[in-house]
Amino acid sequence: MFSIERWQEIFEALNKNRLRTFLTGLSVASGIFILVILLGFSKGIENGVRTQFEQDATNEISIWTNVTSKEYKGLNPGRRIQLTTESFDAVVNKYGDYLERKSPIYSLWGARVNYKNESGNYQVRGTNGDYQFIENADIGSGRFINESDIAENKKVVVIGNKVKKDLFKDEDPINKNVSIFDMPFKVIGVYFDPGGEREESTMFIPISTSQQVFNAGNDIRSMEFTSKMSDNFDEAVALSKSVSEAIEAQIKQMHIVAPDDTSAVRVWYTLEEAKKIYSLIDTISAVFWFVGIGTIIAGIVGVGNIMLIIVKERTKEIGIRKAIGAQPMSIVGMILQEAVFVTMFAGLFGLITGLALLEAVGPQIDSDFIKYPQVDFGIAITTVFLLVFAGALAGFVPAYRAAKIKPIVALREE
């Protein structure tokens, strides 16, 4: 196996049959190459979609209200339903055990905000400390809103990175005062959001402060929760669904809304959405795997075919070698060693080219839905060996049979 003489013999044979060597190598290398690219992009799509989805907590439940569309208990349709701090507290009291994060919201769209000479229009959202986790906001500097801010109606604000860039440029905004509708608010923190600029142009203030300065009394615009996650995805979805429905029923009852009125109280939860998307990802990777395995099978069949042809073509040579004293097994060994060497070399070549391409092109891809395409190296190496093994097996049978042929028969073959 490791004799230099044998290798010299093999390299001579390969070198003298360059086209054959090249074709064998090409079919193996392209099979592996395509598989690597396919698996890489499948992973890239999975990463991309997952990131898209992770902008906000995946187990989020939102509740907001609108006008009634049905008459109920003597009340006319067209009545506006107003959520209040009391309705929020009632929900928390009743379903708190199933909810992880709870946050009431009072927000104003397009508030005028000034700092020195810079100004802009941003959404100002009154909320509490839990909201940071519902929004998946990362605090870059400073802190988020806390309980004492709310208890004391402090005029403090947490701004998004985009707001910071617009108003403060390179200045450190912490402890500086911005004016919202000409009222001074002290900046206590800057946050980043994986969702990007769109999600970084909101300003958060304490819920109590927003109700006070915008004269909202006890009113809130909406409430947001996250339901408890469990390891079992289906269980989590079921919990999220039943909690959402229970909260909807409770609010309808509190605000005297017909149970079948679909427009007055709106509840939306992301987990069901998540389930759809994850099953989409699963389907996509299944398709890619299917195509990839198909490619590999085609590669194996191709290699097998080439091996058959090679052995057929070399039957006479085998006969000559036997006539001048070659042992049958030395011939089988030589053909196999040659086949394994070519498939292995070509397989690794395809693997490395595929990985290099992913490495080079991956970071250039500017799409929200494909991110960091990559391949599990173990899987890739396994396929290379699988292909080599299959090629060797496909070569062994005809080589063995050819070596068994009596030299006289092999020599007669023209």
Q: Does 2 bind another protein (CB under 8 A)?
A: no
Q: Name the 3-class secondary structure at 206.
A: strand
Subset of residues 12 to 51 that bind another protein, contact rule: CB under 8 A: 12-13, 16-17
In 57-98, which ranges are E strands?
60-65, 83-84
Shortest spacing between CB 407 and another protein, in angstroms: 5
Q: What would the two tokens of residue 4 be?
A: 């230099």
Instruction: Please select the residue that binds another protein; options are 67, 238, 329, 356, rule is CB under 8 A.
Output: 329
Subset of residues 248 to 307 that bind another protein, contact rule: CB under 8 A: none
Q: Of the listed pieces 7-15, 67-75, 152-160, 178-186, which binds another protein according to CB under 8 A?
A: 7-15
Helix (H) or strand (E) holding 337: helix 328-361
Residue-level length of the chain: 414
Whether 84 contacts 219, CB under 8 Å: yes
Subset of residues 303 to 322 that bind another protein, contact rule: CB under 8 A: 316-317, 319-322
Task: Tell me how far apart the terminal alpha carbons of the chain are, to the nearest angstrom.
Answer: 31
**10 or 174, CB closer to another protein?**
10
Q: How many Cβ atoms sit within 10 Å of the Cβ of residue 152? A: 12
d(CA 257, CA 72): 6
Q: Of the listed pieces 133-141, 197-205, 286-294, 323-331, which binds another protein according to CB under 8 A?
A: 323-331
Instruction: Please select the residue that binds another protein; options are 77, 142, 304, 328, rule is CB under 8 A.
Output: 328
Q: Does 232 bind another protein (CB under 8 A)?
A: no
Shortest spacing between CB 392 and another protein, in angstroms: 22
d(CA 403, CA 405): 6
Q: Does 411 bind another protein (CB under 8 A)?
A: yes
**325 or 378, CB closer to another protein?**
325
Question: What CA–CA distances, in Å, run from 372 to 44, 46, 48, 227?
Answer: 5, 9, 8, 30
**12 or 118, CB closer to another protein?**
12
Tokens 């839990």 appear where?
Answer: 130
Q: Does 333 bind another protein (CB under 8 A)?
A: no
How many residues line the site for another protein (CB under 8 A)? 28
Whether 213 contacts 153, CB under 8 Å: no
Shortest spacing between CB 305 and another protein, in angstroms: 21
**142 or 407, CB closer to another protein?**
407
**329 or 356, CB closer to another protein?**
329
**39 or 331, CB closer to another protein?**
331
Subset of residues 50 to 109 that bind another protein, contact rule: CB under 8 A: none
Q: Sketch the per residue contact string, 182 through 211, with another protein: x for CB under 8 A, - otherwise.
A: ------------------------------
Instruction: Please select the residue that binds another protein; options are 67, 151, 356, 408, rule is CB under 8 A.
Output: 408
Q: Name the 3-class secondary structure at 136.
A: coil
Whether 109 contacts 90, CB under 8 Å: no
Question: What CA–CA distances, in Å, run from 298 to 41, 213, 226, 303, 403?
Answer: 20, 70, 48, 9, 27
Print burial letters for 181-190: b (CB count within 10 Å at least 16), e (below 16): eeeebebbbb
**101 or 321, CB closer to another protein?**
321
- Specify the DSSP class assigned to residue 229: P
| Beta-strand relationship, 118-127 and 99-115 | antiparallel
Shortest spacing between CB 313 and another protein, in angstroms: 11
d(CA 301, CA 309): 12
Q: Does 330 bind another protein (CB under 8 A)?
A: yes
Shortest spacing between CB 403 and another protein, in angstroms: 8
Question: Which parts of this chain interact with another protein (CB under 8 A)?
Answer: 5, 8-9, 12-13, 16-17, 316-317, 319-330, 403-404, 406-408, 411, 414
